[in-house]
Amino acid sequence: MAYIVLQITWKASPAIQEYGAGFLTGRTWDPNTSEFGILPEIWGTLYSSLLALFIGSFFGIAVAVFLSEGYLGNFVFNVLKLFGLQFHKFWGKLPSWSESTLKNLVELLAAIPSVVYGLWGIFVVMPLLREPCNWLHENMGWFPIFGTRYQGPGMLTASFVLAIMILPTISAISRDALVAVPPKLREASYGLGATRWETILSVVLPTASGGIFGGIVLAFGRALGETMALAMLVGNMNTIEISIFSPANTLAALLANNFSEAGSDEMKVGVLMYAGVVLMAITLVVNIFGALILQRATAGLKGMR
């Protein structure tokens, strides 16, 4: 690990000396005039990851709650009832194997190659998002995040697909954290007269929050570094826009698009390595930050376990 970091930094060193901190604030990427700046990419990387995290966490945690709190049993019970098959409702919670099978199915999402997600984004997500997004732009265009027309490739398409990609990480870890919440806590909460949702929202989720947060941080790490799907979906345009419909660029996509041509040119490889170092640094900061918050969150809950 240290060797990799060292090697990349070594390769990046000529570019670091040449461009210095201006590299981080420049907005142009033009190999022909040797002008390199990655501010739009830094912005795009963080923005798309946060947006993906926002969508992904919501659904990921929902999936985890569904799989761990016995809603699956209810769901099956209701579906069977629709077909006229009525069982006694002692079946509130299905045997654990059925839930873990579903959990594994969700985790299979992680096994789908990135390029396939990219294709799915192009052929399914883009046509699907076009109509509602244009409606949003026409009717709520005054709101900065809907400020540009939806063209297809762009921040939202990329983030949406990214959200699906990080969903398994969030849901798997969140489910494990939820399952690990001591049954006594739930029983106590029911005993005090709380409803099921009150129990979930004010007892179970806060207790498991440390674990859930850990999952989200891991997912953030993945979202930052995701390459191929983003290179296909984000539009690869060096702009900084608040609008979620506008095309953008990310560090990983920049690397993917430029690396094959950098070839033997030391400076070109250098600037790409420099961009790689920046991406590593961002990921590192995110992870350290996440670990710190995780530590504080779990420390506060120690007494409950």
State the residues that interact with other proteins by CB under 8 A: 28-33, 115, 118-119, 122-124, 126-127, 130, 149, 151-154, 228, 231-232, 235-237, 247, 257, 260-264
Nearer Cβ to other proteins, position 151 or 209?
A: 151
Nearest distance from C-beta of residue 123 to other proteins, angstroms: 6
DSSP state letters, 284-299: HHHHHHHHHHHHHHHH
> What are the backbone dihedrals phi and psi of residue 36, each rounded to the nearest 5 degrees, phi first?
-130, 130
d(CA 183, CA 232): 46
Single-letter code of the amino acid located at 295: Q
Nearest distance from C-beta of residue 253 to other proteins, angstroms: 9
Nearer Cβ to other proteins, position 224 or 231?
A: 231
Tell me the C-alpha to C-alpha distance, in Å, between residue 24 and each of 73, 112, 281: 52, 33, 12
Encoding tokens for residue 35? 């002008």
Nearest distance from C-beta of residue 130 to other proteins, angstroms: 8
Nearer Cβ to other proteins, position 73 or 247?
A: 247
Nearer Cβ to other proteins, position 61 or 125?
A: 125
Nearest distance from C-beta of residue 35 to other proteins, angstroms: 8
Nearest by Cα to 254 from 268, 241, 243: 268
Encoding tokens for residue 90? 């002692």
Q: Across the strands, what pairs with 35? A: 30
Nearest distance from C-beta of residue 155 to other proteins, angstroms: 11
Nearer Cβ to other proteins, position 59 or 120?
A: 120
Burial class (CB in 10 A: 0-12, 13-18, 19+), 10: exposed
